[in-house]
Amino acid sequence: MTRIAVLGGGSWGTTLANMLSEKGLDVGLWVREQELVDEISKTGENSLFLPGVTLDSRLNVSQDQHEVMQGADYFLVAIPTQFMRQTLEGAKHLFPQSPVVICASKGVELATLKPMSAVVHESLQEKEPRYAIISGPSFAGEVSRKLPTAVSLGCLDQDLGRRVRDILSTDFFRVYANPDYKGVELGGALKNIMAIAAGISDGLEFGHDARAALITRGLVEMARLGVALGGREKTFMGLSGMGDLVLTCTGDLSRNRQVGLKLGRGMTLDEILEGSRMVAEGVKTTESVRYLAGKKSVDMPITEQVYQVLFAHKDPRTAVQDLMTRELKME
């Protein structure tokens, strides 16, 4: 039987681990907090990150990384972006040679301005990891309720990509393989910035027209940087680009959209972050991508204004006004 180790007991890691366990695979889930492990063992529920969902009784949940990772055929990592390198380096000795690492995290590392593929390879370079990235319109709360969706699986090795695709797919979770792993992972990271922007617009009650314009121009911005970093423009028109962008910019389950909504309604970033235990990846991603765009000389006006609101205390209304009054250009 295929054995899968899932690292990360947040909402997305728990959802994927449970989905694969219910599919009949041998799944271990590593959770950092012992009290959460105890609660899941006692109640069958991760009430902190995935309340209301009864987990499969066959799912092995443990704080012991060795127990979860021993003998695994695939390693699915759903760790917050800024902690990915530290976690993988700490567990490096538990990985076999040439492990298949499936990344379910979306973001760019702030300290190095590198995407998750580079972080995984640098953290496990002595192990020669084989990399895949899963991304697309997939709220954990909806996937856990078996509501239908489709996502992209980016993997340069197309044979491996098809294998991983088949393992992850269910009758409600459809996976498409795509060799452009760079485009897939960047689409999943960059759309979080645009979700904050769309949330700000909605928080200011600027209406549907403004949101649609932000989504459309946001996609252009995402593709512009993605191509500069080695991705294919076509990938951004797919599930990990346009699909995830539409979801996170319009769906109220989006943590990044919620950050934007609260900013638009007058809250400060500190107030927002203090009131949430969930990680909104777009906040740190905005910071890292703004620096990365400058380094690559890529024009990203929406990202720049979101950065100014988040980190320079710029008034959200002024930020939108500055976007609207930029020099007029050809589309």
**What's the pLDDT score for residue 1?**
87
Q: Are residues 139 and 266 both part of a single domain?
A: no
Q: Residue for token digits 């090795």?
A: 157
Which residues have a catalytic role annotated? 191
Instruction: Judge if 198 and 303 occupy the same domain.
Output: yes
Residue 329 within a domain: no
Do 17 and 148 share a domain, yes or no? yes
Quick one: pLDDT at residue 280? Answer: 77
Output the domain CATH number for residue 226: 1.10.1040.10
Rounded Cα distance between 87 and 186, Å, is 21
User: Structural domain tally of the chain?
Assistant: 2
Task: Tell me: do 159 and 206 sit in the same domain.
Answer: no
Domain end among 179, 204, 233: 179
Q: Quote the DSSP letter at residue 243.
A: I
Same domain for 159 and 51: yes
- Cβ atoms of residues 141 and 118 within 8 Å: no
For the chain, which ranges sit under pLDDT 50? none
User: CB within 8 A of 71, min separation 6: which ones?
Assistant: 3
Closest listed residue to residue 228, CA positions, set 156, 290, 296: 296
Give CA–CA dist 121/128, Å, rounded: 7
> How confident is the model at residue 134, as a pLDDT?
98
Residue 198 lies in a domain: yes
Q: What DSSP string runs through 1-29?
A: --EEEEE--SHHHHHHHHHHHHTT-EEEE
Contact 79, 49 (CB under 8 A): no
Let me know if residue 331 belongs to a domain.
no
Contact present, 200 and 319 (Cβ < 8 Å)? yes
* Residue 315 forms part of a structural domain: yes
CA distance 89 to 93: 8
